Structure 1
Amino acid sequence: MRTIGEAAVHLGIEAHVLRHWEQVGALSVRRDGNGYRIFDDSALEQARTVQRLRSVGLSLPEVTAAMAPVKSEAQAVVAQKIAALEGEVLARQQAITFLQHTLDCRHRYVDDCEDCATFVREA
């Protein structure tokens, strides 16, 4: 059992972050008789899950939905995030291809190269 301050230090974050996660519904923490938050192993594991989901790009509303008790709802959020990330990867790969060509291009100016112009038109 840990206090919010101890849990925050253990997780490497600020206590206000844990309060915020609880406020938006991404984290459930039980309270003692005096109303103080008590972080047991379950709450710490839940906080680590929130941290990990945030680190892979989910917003707090997405994290909350991804941790929904109904698995199909959680899977839908995760599937949408995967699709968005795959779109970002494709866009980055296209940017790298374009930039690599401009780096290797024998033309002095991008405007002088038909391949560069094709990349620009496709964007």
Structure 2
Amino acid sequence: MRITLLLNVDMKSTVNPGSMSIGEIARRFGLAPHVLRHWESVGLLSPSRAVAGRRRYGADHLYQIAVILRAKEAGFALDDIRQMFVAQGPTQRTATLRRHRAELAKRIAQAQASLELIDCALACDHEDITRCPHFQAMVAERIGLDAPV
């Protein structure tokens, strides 16, 4: 199974991507600035500092933030995301990625099974779907019963 990750970081901006402020980059991703500060404190981001210590974000940060957001959607903990970023090569990332891939595949399969039950229920004309033989058969199949309840 091949999964494609599309990152929309909208590089066409009037803002110089090499010198975005925390407010500019937070708005670009719909985040509160404190989220970016927290990610910095746990080692996910390391913006450069300008005059008076103000954080400045470059184009690379756009991709890091997009990856952080996608990884969080996939169920990664911030520590696991950090481990991926600081890994000393692909081999170190592999164990974390394989574990999360397996967990995500399991959640996707569970969601697909739930979607199929919902679709079956939507197609049912019975007053009480729990008494519908077709729906009972689908539920029995999902929970491993030999025959409908």
**Residue 78 in structure 1 maps to residue 89 in structure 2:** no
**Residue 48 in structure 1 maps to residue 84 in structure 2:** no
**Cα deviation per residue 1:85-122 (whole Å; 9 max; x = unaligned)?**
11123333444556666776x9x785896847844763
**Residue 20 in structure 1 maps to residue 42 in structure 2:** no
Instruction: Judge conservation of contact 1:111–1:117 (CA < 8 Å) in 2.
Output: no
**Residue 4 in structure 1 maps to residue 22 in structure 2:** yes
Aligned CA distance change for structure 1 residues 58 and 38 (closer, same or farther; 3 Å): same
The structure with the greater share of residues assigned to helix is: 1
- Residue-pair matches, total: 123
Aligned CA distance change for structure 1 residues 19 and 88 (closer, same or farther; 3 Å): same
In structure 1, the gaps of 5 or more residues are none
User: Aligned letter for 2:44?
Assistant: A
CA RMSD across the alignment: 3.2
Aligned CA distance change for structure 1 residues 61 and 40 (closer, same or farther; 3 Å): same
Q: TM-score normalized by structure 2?
A: 0.61
Percent of residue pairs identical: 23
In structure 2, the gaps of 5 or more residues are 1-18
The partner residue of 1:62 within 73, 77, 80 is: 80
Distance in 1 between the 2:34 and 2:67 partners?
17
Instruction: Judge conservation of contact 2:22–2:33 (CA < 8 Å) in 1.
Output: yes
Corresponding residue number in structure 2 for 1:122: 144
Q: TM-score normalized by structure 1?
A: 0.71
